[in-house]
Structure 1
Amino acid sequence: MAGIPLTAQGAKRLEEELHRLVSVERPGVIQAIAEARAQGDLSENAEYDAARERQGFIEGRINELEGLLSNAQIIDPASLDVDGRIVFGATVGIEDLNSGSNVTYQIVGDAESDIRLNRISISSPVGRALIGKAEGDVVVVTVPSGEKEFEIISVEYK
């Protein structure tokens, strides 16, 4: 199986989430199940059903995180010889030439992408279009709303 690309910061965030789930969330839900069981008839106990459902979610997320982290390939873009080109982990400032708006994205793996935090996946249309380009280049990206042109304003490796 190929490694799952992660930035060092992304791997750290996932490890912290795993630790919280194992050490805080899992014991809490086990306690909630025990308290709901103590109330008697489980067939009509909504608290028990909710706690069991929460336990299933927590255990599933723990398994998912353990799998991601065991197959992770940590990539530090600062250690790569990139010659100013955009690679995985780069923080890229772009200008939308259609609207004139500027935005900064970090290109990360699928497991750590979060558009609210301006982290886009390397497999997204914008992420794929930016890889290999350099500051000053113009890229055309096909997105669901049509084609967009972006000029690369800055490239940083944090």
Structure 2
Amino acid sequence: MAQFERSVDVHDSDGEDECDWTKEAQFIVKEFESVVNYISVSTKLDQSDHLIYFNCETKEGDKYCIELTAAGFRIVSNLFDTIDEDKKIVHEEENDEGQEKILNSVFYETMNALLDKMSPLYRIAFSNQLIEKLNSHINQ
């Protein structure tokens, strides 16, 4: 799989507050718990009002620690509650604004896009879930 280098300013937030990020995290766990084996917000990694970590196990049994920032979703490790050394945020000392950059990462706009790429069984589970919802609306 080809990987490209991308540099992202992680301070590109649009004023979201901590409550919105907390609600977003809760929504993501609830929305995806039926289409993966396991998903939760990490209780061991530091969270903030602009940074959330999820532990997720796909239907294939693959484990990921997934980071959510204003830049999107990205896999930071194949272990729960872990950030691989090459995925850590880099602080640029020479930058007067003290901006942080993330290098060598593939970002996904949504959790759906990330799981669609990483888990063929997610696609099947998600499709089956859509079919069930459509059928329930038809039968009403």
> What's the TM-score, normalizing by structure 1?
0.28
Q: Report which of the two has the higher share of helix.
A: 1
Larger radius of gyration: 1
> What's the TM-score, normalizing by structure 2?
0.31
